[in-house]
Structure 1
């Protein structure tokens, strides 16, 4: 079995694998997919597993920005992991994912995330549960009751506004000290903002992306940096309530809209869980944000069979972190455990699950430094 970069000549076979793994692909979706993946080929971000000349599996590494405590860093988003039906159950998925982790590390990404179709194969190479994409169903009429409290200028947006959307996300997530949300790169945003079936609106400190879905509205993204903009955008979505029965929206678990509703006795929430992996411990610690008031240190040993393991003294101060290699005993974590800790999973949970052992004196410091409630608004 050979694992190598895909080329443009392999894309028809890759489409066939996607169809066999995820269902039919329309002509328009196929064209959009080709536009999205072509840049990845030249960047070494699309790998294929071959049995001779036959493509048996593929996986793509998407370039994302991800925020942790309001600080952005590059993130490798693993997507489109497909194995041909006749080759499943032979360990090919694990081989392919090991190559994906090695490639992501070589490309300079310190962290990676994915939405799993199944958990064991990803857990076996170091990914662990971290957060979710929360989707809430709300009565459209309840959103109509949200009244704008100021004059917020909204305008329609399109592909030419991709850079401004990215800028808004950087400002909003930094100010909110967000953990987990991602942004596509400008080229991909430009592609998504050209979808003629979407309604796209931009404010100075926020934006909304939504569309009709049957007799309701589906909100992919609604991001706001102020209460006035949040009210204006959600009220606009709710203005369709004379026709739309409900609104299905991807939101943060503590999104302000849930507190702006006049009536909130119960709601329907679904979660798409995502998994996370630290690829380079030292770089990931440096690139993450932390509470500004935290001033502490901890010694951690991370066990990673794919190569990023070692022992470090982690030091936190002024919202920043550092990792210095040492040779002294401390906390011991599998790479799964450290990835979960990085995403805010408490040390008590990690110890009870067997993902963490060793010296307990650093537990409170680690809990304080890595505290987070991670979420995503985008599925990939």
Structure 2
């Protein structure tokens, strides 16, 4: 078995593996998929496992920006992990994911995330449960009853608005001190904003992307930086209530819409869980945001068989983190445990689940520094 960068000539074979793993794509989705993956080929972000000349599996590293406590950093989003049925059980998936982790680190990403179809293989590579994409079902009429509280100028948007949309995301997620949400790069946004089935509206500090889903409406993305814009965008979606009975929306776990609607007595929240991995402890800590009021330090030892572990003193002050290699003992975490801690999982949980051991005097400081309620709006 050999790992190689995929080329345009491999895409038909990759589509065949994908069809056998996830089911077929429609002709329109196939065309969009080809356009979306071409940049990944040029950047070395699409890897294949080959048995001679035959492809056995493949995985793509999407180029994302991810926010942690309002601070953006590059993130490798692992997607399209596929293995041919006849090659399953031969270690292809493990070989592929080890190569993916190494490639992501080589490309400069300090963190990575993925939506798992099954968790054991990803846990064995160092990924751990971190957050979720939350989808709630709301009566369309309840959104129609949200009244705008000011004059918010909305306009339709398209591929040419990709840069402005990315700018909005940076401002809104920073102001909200958000943890977990991602943004595609501008080229990918330009592609998605050209989908003729979507309704797209942009405001100065927010936007919405939604579409028909059978007899209901589906909100793919809705981001707002002010109450006025949140009211305007949600009430816009609610104007479909004369036809649509319900709206299925991807939201933050504490999204304002859940406080804007009048009734929440019977609420459906479906979660797609995502996993997270720290690839480079020092860079990940230094690129993350932290509460501005927190000043603390802690010593941690991280065991990472793939990337190499070590012991570090973590110092947090003024919303920034710094890392210094040390020899002294401290709290001991597997890379799975440190990845979960980074995503806000409490130290008590990590200790009770066997992901953390050793010195406990730093636990409260670590909990305070890494506190987060991570979520994503996007599925990839």
Normalised-by-shorter TM-score class: over 0.9
| More deviation, 267-276/305-314 | 305-314
Number of residue pairs matched by the alignment: 380
CA distance in 2, matches of 1:25, 1:180: 28
Q: What's the offset of the Cα at 1:14?
A: 0.4
CA distance in 1, matches of 2:25, 2:226: 39
1:165 match: secondary structure: helix
**Deviation readout 1:171-217 (Å, 9 max, x if unpaired):** 00000000000000000000000000100000000000000111110
Structure 2 residue aligned with 1:108: 108
CA distance in 1, matches of 2:321, 2:34: 40
Structure 1 residue aligned with 2:375: 375
Q: What's the offset of the Cα at 1:302?
A: 0.3
1:375 match: secondary structure: coil
Structure 1 residue aligned with 2:363: 363
CA distance in 1, matches of 2:165, 2:203: 10
Structure 2 residue aligned with 1:349: 349
1:270 match: secondary structure: strand
CA distance in 2, matches of 1:98, 1:357: 26
Assess if the C-alpha contact under 8 Å between 1:66 and 1:75 holds in 2.
yes
**Deviation readout 1:278-305 (Å, 9 max, x if unpaired):** 0000000000000000001000000000
- Which runs of 5 or more structure 1 residues have no equivalent in the other structure? none
2:28 match: secondary structure: helix
What is the correspondence of 1:88-99 to structure 2 with a 5 Å cutoff? 88-99=88-99
CA distance in 1, matches of 2:118, 2:307: 24
- Which runs of 5 or more structure 2 residues have no equivalent in the other structure? none
RMSD: 0.4
What is the correspondence of 1:259-274 to structure 2 with a 5 Å cutoff? 259-274=259-274
**Deviation readout 1:26-71 (Å, 9 max, x if unpaired):** 1111110000000000100000000000000000000000000000
CA distance in 1, matches of 2:263, 2:38: 47
TM-score of the pair, normalised by structure 1: 1.00
| More deviation, 259-268/164-173 | 259-268
Structure 2 residue aligned with 1:281: 281
Structure 2 residue aligned with 1:199: 199
Assess if the C-alpha contact under 8 Å between 1:281 and 1:308 holds in 2.
no
**Deviation readout 1:233-258 (Å, 9 max, x if unpaired):** 00000010000010000000000000
**Deviation readout 1:224-276 (Å, 9 max, x if unpaired):** 00000000000000010000010000000000000000111121110000000
Asked if 1:339 corresponds to 2:364, the answer is: no
Structure 2 residue aligned with 1:159: 159
Structure 2 residue aligned with 1:63: 63
Structure 2 residue aligned with 1:233: 233
Q: What's the offset of the Cα at 1:371?
A: 0.2
TM-score of the pair, normalised by structure 2: 1.00
Assess if the C-alpha contact under 8 Å between 1:280 and 1:308 holds in 2.
no
